[in-house]
Structure 1
């Protein structure tokens, strides 16, 4: 029996009468995660929670001095894990962390993908929350996993702790993935409760995505004991605070055996030499990162007060972003701000928050520019 031709997914069509070879059934059913990344140059980018001023001058200097010889050879990672461990210890991580407990990845997206490849199988369950970072779902779908997404609660989007505990006890999911603080709601769960969740479910890999923890100080690393809870894995990145989003480098931190298994499904040179050099420089300039985070927190306070005074509905609980419910349709506000050179992220179709938009928090002057363009739209 002839196999039906799969639905078009972009690219060049096959010649008439010829069939494109189908991918795995899980991939054929998959809706790929995509983000509108084109047309952003020269704009005030408040749409993807990036560092809005750029990396440390040390990073810029390293990139300017990067040699053609370094470009021509495969990357070397000697010392990078040690540098990250030292940075983590200096910023409050529990003593005793070893370099073999750190995995290197081509951005956190690659780390997420690797976790699902290493631990997720068809028919098994991913337990997570909703709404949350959109890339978890397609990664689970690639493996044919069942997704159980428990919604945040109420107008303040409280963490559904009791429901998560019940699901862990009743269904023993293969993976529990929690973004903390959560993107986009900012919802936070204290470190001791996250560790307790891992301790209660030794058969589940509990992954805590901490890309935004620097803006709240909610990390589990100061109190995590990976010997006692070897099923706990933590994601960190240099994208949101150190300004290396364009170079793609992320870390997974946990028990050495878990890090080893997640790393097995990656390529030997997935992290490129330029990213490695930039990471060394960024880790060597923690005061720059601290100063940027402090400025974002000042700008957040200024923005929240301006929104309160203007009577604009908003929600901000953690991270370098907040949610705003405008009086006009979000698409109209998005278009008007884009014409002013400002980018935001509409939350259309997101459960619980459809009808609002997320705006990243930059510097105080950048947020003043945003508010000067946004508030007239509310009148």
Structure 2
């Protein structure tokens, strides 16, 4: 017995548990440095920087204790999303998910298969790639073009001729802010009926050029839009996101999720947030104002930056980016280093908050970089 135990102890760790699929073995877990952020000015993850509507907080506090003990109910939530959008959609065209990350995972689970191809751009949101890898998909990531990070429209058009399984466009793109006109996206979807064209519109509110008002999902059933209440309504901590598209596609994606993926608190908060669009609109307007102010300061100071869409910008420090990042952290301000990202290595992504918050950031950044007044 002792000899057998000693022999077991000498086995390599890989032999002590069942082997996962080869695709999983080659993955690295998607992780982000989310600890120790609560007392800081959080300009690192493009979140709402002031919190949700007071009506959301009031609704959460009013949840009866016995409701915590029962599974969540979703009656009316899809209808509330449709009403908030104000578009001729049906409730079965809306899918409910535990954040857009879960929706993205479900899309790949439902439609991605080994040997098929994900077509996307680079740099873009980092979660698309591991979702494709876990399905054994090939990835064709086409770089944005030039110093202005223009969308590589012709190269995407050409790549669609190979009938990739999925085309994923973040619009406006995170982290470059690149925007593609809705009409061009509709053209891409029409030209590739065998490709599911997924448009990630999490930051659309800050640019105002959604394709939803133009989309006819009956004519383009291969088109799917992602939306969230994280960036605008301040519900990132509760995790709730939506897919909007043809009912049959939404149904297939919903089939690969759990029966109660969205918790009761998120449902309650979503109803309250959707019913207080004025609060969201006011916050978005304040961010747009602060974004314009920030761009003016950067231009006047001659600081290299890129700002096109979304509630974020890219900035290239004169000093060592890691040192600037750390100095900002020590000043109580968090930004996101783009270290190793194609085309934008050496930059910092800075989320845009309120005017007061951006004034605080700019004062700290000027001091760190010794930018004269």
TM-score class, shorter: over 0.9
Question: How many angstroms apart in 2 are the aligned matches of 1:34 and 1:123?
Answer: 26
Aligned to 2:80: 83
Stretch of structure 1 that moved more, 59-68 or 179-188: 59-68
Give the alignment partner of residue 36 of structure 1, picking from 33, 41, 52.
33
* Superposed CA RMSD: 0.9
Which residue of structure 1 lines up, in the alignment, with residue 101 of structure 2?
109
**Counterpart for residue 261 of structure 1:** 252
The equivalent position to 1:352 in structure 2, one of 343, 346, 352, is 343
Q: Which residue of 2 aligns with 1:246?
A: 237
Which whole-Å CA distance do the structure 2 matches of 1:254 and 1:195 have between them? 13
SS of 1:233 mapped into structure 2: strand
Residue of structure 2 aligned with 1:121, choices 85, 103, 113: 113
State the secondary structure of the residue aligned to 2:294.
helix
Which of 349, 357, 360 is 1:366 aligned to?
A: 357
Are residues 1:277 and 2:272 paired?
no
1:132 aligns with 2:102: no
C-alpha deviation, 1:377, in angstroms: 2.0
Matched, 1:145 2:144: no
User: Residue 109 of structure 2 aligns to a residue in which SS?
Assistant: helix
Q: Secondary structure of 1:222's partner?
A: helix
Of 139, 149, 155 in structure 1, the residue corresponding to residue 147 of structure 2 is 155
**Which residue number corresponds to residue 294 of structure 1?**
285
Which among 299, 315, 321 is matched to residue 306 of structure 2?
Answer: 315
What is the distance in 1 between the residues matched to 2:36 and 2:340? Answer: 23
Number of residue equivalences: 360
> What runs of 5+ residues in structure 2 fail to find an aligned partner?
1-7
1:316 deviation in Å? 0.3
Once the two structures are overlaid, the 10-residue window that deviates more, 28-37 or 277-286, is 28-37
Structure 1: where are the runs of 5+ without partners? Answer: 1-13
Deviations 1:207-265 (A, max 9, x none): 00000000001111001000000000000000000000000000000000000000000
Match status 1:52 vs 2:49: yes
1:220 counterpart residue number: 211
User: How far has the Cα of 1:15 moved from its partner?
Assistant: 5.1
- 1:182-197 → structure 2 map (5 Å cutoff): 182-197=173-188
Contact 1:299/1:364 (CA < 8 Å) preserved in 2? Answer: yes
- 1:72 to 1:15, Cα distance in 2 relative to 1, 3 A: farther
Question: Which residue of the partner structure matches residue 71 of structure 1?
Answer: 68
2:224 is aligned with 1:233: yes
Superposition deviation, residue 146 in structure 1: 0.2
Secondary structure, counterpart of 1:240 in structure 2: coil
For the residues of structure 2 that align with 1:15 and 1:100, how far apart are their CA atoms?
54
